[in-house]
Amino acid sequence: MPIDRGPWTALVDDDGSNLVGSIWNKDKIKTVILDPTDAAIAAQVGLPTGGANNDLLTRDLAVPTFGSKWAPVGVWIDIPYAAANFTGTNPMVWTVTQANQIAYSYMVLGRTLFIVLTLQATTVTGAAGSPFVVKLPTGYTPIRSGDGVFFSIDAGAGVVGRARFIAGTPNVYLYRLDGANWNLSAANTQIAFQTFYTF
């Protein structure tokens, strides 16, 4: 909505005599500039609301459009441990306990999510396979596919891994960079990476 220019139009220019022009004082600043500006802002409709406190800032998982897309800028947010966040690809079983989750956190800058994950002494049973699947923070599904490189220990041996993000999928898929399967191990598999993606 445009600002009402009626009060501005009503101002009269002085002819140089200092006798006919409108007086410019605090009241005129209020009525000509501030009041019309306030009215124009108040008249805006369709402005986004949301968040647990209707402030767009408080995370609200029940509101997919607002709230869940906002987080304090530059602040790392820890993701509570949940066993369901970590799965292997059948028939491989990847077991991650709460003690194994050293760090799982994220930070939001604009539409970019930075993520850090450190898992130690995890266990792989069933059959060797790939990939490991990690659930991403709720509300931050990638909109572009991409890859990141990370360090891992596979059954005691250091290997380079590839973290794969797929547009529209709320998971990150962890592969060995050489394409081999993850090996079986008893509390001897580690994942450590920090990367980012667009949501």
**Domains delineated in the chain:** 6-42 (no CATH), 79-198 (2.60.40.2460)
Residues 144, 147, 151, 155: what is their CA dihedral angle, to the nearest 10 degrees?
100
The Cα-based distances of 121 to 94, 101, 133, 143, 152 in angstroms read 11, 9, 17, 32, 11
Q: What is the per-residue pLDDT for 72?
A: 64
The highest-confidence range among 42-51, 57-66, 149-158, by mean pLDDT, is 149-158
Helix (H) or strand (E) holding 36: helix 35-42
For residues 142 and 134, give the distance between their C-alpha atoms in angstroms, rounded to a whole number: 13
Among residues 9, 182, 157, which one has the least CA distance to residue 91?
Answer: 182
Q: What is the per-residue pLDDT for 103?
A: 97
Cross-strand pairs, 195: 115
Is 103 in contact with 117 (CB distance < 8 Å)?
yes
Model confidence pLDDT, tens digit, residues 3-57: 778 887 887 887 778 888 788 888 888 888 878 887 777 665 444 444 444 444 4
Structure tokens at 116: 């850090």
Q: What is the per-residue pLDDT for 180?
A: 97
Q: Are strands 101-109 and 132-135 parallel, antiparallel or unpaired?
A: unpaired
Calculate what percentage of the chain has a pLDDT beyond 70.
Answer: 83
| DSSP reduced 3-state for 7 | helix
Q: Are strands 157-165 and 101-109 parallel, antiparallel or unpaired?
A: unpaired
Judge whether residue 147 has pLDDT over 70.
yes
